[in-house]
Structure 1
Amino acid sequence: MHHYDIMLTRAINHLAGTSSLLDMFLVDLTKAGVPIMVLAVALQWWRKDDRPGVRHTLISSGMAFLLGLAINQAILIFIHRIRPYDAGLTHLLIAPNPDFSFPSDHATASMAIAVTFLLRGSRRWGGAFLMVACIICFSRVYVGTHYLTDVLGGAVTASLAAFLVTGLYRKGTRLDRRLTEIF
């Protein structure tokens, strides 16, 4: 399995440098993709249609986002995987990152949003967020900062967090009504 991870990581990262336009797009996306997704979520707070339902989904996605990142921090206590560029496997297109590689926080953050929207029944927004999240995951390997299994691990922690939040944070509860009525 480790052999395939290295092989696929190298294959994706080897694409870097073949197109300056693609390099520029994926470097920009790897840096700004998650903040743009968070902004796209936050701006929906003021939507007029199904306000309680939309707000419930927005709060759920924020909870899954934070829970996923918290799970990642717990994993980092036990797994100290060096970055692929530190192992001499990839060519880095962005500034180096001092922390460990597994799991990818970018993958976790973006996938937590996408999976939560899909689980809450928002197919249009969930599908759009999923497409962006997949490109963000690809960009993390492309720019040389993660192994492929790092982003897959991030997607798993994101999905776990989204399923937990969906199961525990129910629509219409007292807490939900209080949170969705803010502003």
Structure 2
Amino acid sequence: MKVKIIALLVLAPVAWAAPATAGPKGWADASDIGRDLLVGAALGVPAVQGDWRGDLDAGASVLVAGGTTFALKELIHESRPDRSDDKSFPSGHTSVSFAAAASLEKRYGWEAGLPALLVASFVGVARVRADKHYVHDVLAGAVIGSASGFLLTSRHDDRVRLTPWAGSGGGGIDVAMRF
């Protein structure tokens, strides 16, 4: 129940921010809020439950995603759509958001993961709408963050499991449930 309440608290401010997102500045602000709320939730949900292993996993996921993104930005100098600098690829906001969301999903299941993944997706869309990233920057950030979250987080409960997969012919998400 605590996880559901915290998930609703994460989603509500992002929904309230939507009317203020008419221009690039509003979208940038909304993406900042979404990213910060997801990282806060990924670290806060385990802390509230006294789940220190979950805190360590979430922290590691976010740090690895952020570090990987930073290294790639230093190696690949792609100009942003607004021409503000050459650090467009990959999207750091998106990678950190997806790391936090994937960590919540793997640790606590779809009840926490689905709302978090929706917020992370919103962050990615907002980065494109803010004219800070191209779609491929956001997709790369989502892959980096998701991989970090899923690979570095251990399960707290394995009743429902979402597993992303990809192949040469496409991709998807497998759902496994244990009764």
TM range (shorter): 0.5 to 0.7
In 2 relative to 1, CA 108–26 (structure 1 residues): closer, same or farther, beyond 3 Å? same
In 2 relative to 1, CA 160–43 (structure 1 residues): closer, same or farther, beyond 3 Å? closer
Q: Tell me which of 110, 117, 122 is aligned to 2:109.
A: 122
The answer to whether 1:26 aligns with 2:27 is: yes
The answer to whether 1:108 aligns with 2:95 is: yes
Q: Which has the higher contact order (CA 8 A, sep 6+)?
A: 1
RMSD: 2.5
Q: Are the equivalent residues in 1 in contact too, given 2:62–2:148 (CA < 8 A)?
A: yes
Q: Give the structure-2-normalised TM-score.
A: 0.66
Determine which structure has the larger strand proportion and give its number.
Answer: 2
Quick one: which amino acid aligns to residue 100 of structure 2? I
Aligned length: 137
Identity %: 29
In 2 relative to 1, CA 161–42 (structure 1 residues): closer, same or farther, beyond 3 Å? closer
Q: Are the equivalent residues in 1 in contact too, given 2:21–2:30 (CA < 8 A)?
A: no
Once residues 42 and 170 of structure 1 are traced to their aligned partners in structure 2, the CA distance between those partners, rounded to angstroms, is 15
1:38 matched to which residue of 2? 39
Q: Give the structure-1-normalised TM-score.
A: 0.65
Q: Which structure 1 segments of 5+ residues have no match?
A: 1-18, 87-95, 172-183
2:129 matched to which residue of 1? 142
Once residues 105 and 96 of structure 2 are traced to their aligned partners in structure 1, the CA distance between those partners, rounded to angstroms, is 15
In 2 relative to 1, CA 71–133 (structure 1 residues): closer, same or farther, beyond 3 Å? same
Question: SS where residue 58 of structure 1 aligns?
Answer: helix
Once residues 136 and 154 of structure 1 are traced to their aligned partners in structure 2, the CA distance between those partners, rounded to angstroms, is 11
In 2 relative to 1, CA 156–76 (structure 1 residues): closer, same or farther, beyond 3 Å? same
1:162 matched to which residue of 2? 149
Once residues 21 and 164 of structure 1 are traced to their aligned partners in structure 2, the CA distance between those partners, rounded to angstroms, is 35
Once residues 106 and 40 of structure 2 are traced to their aligned partners in structure 1, the CA distance between those partners, rounded to angstroms, is 20
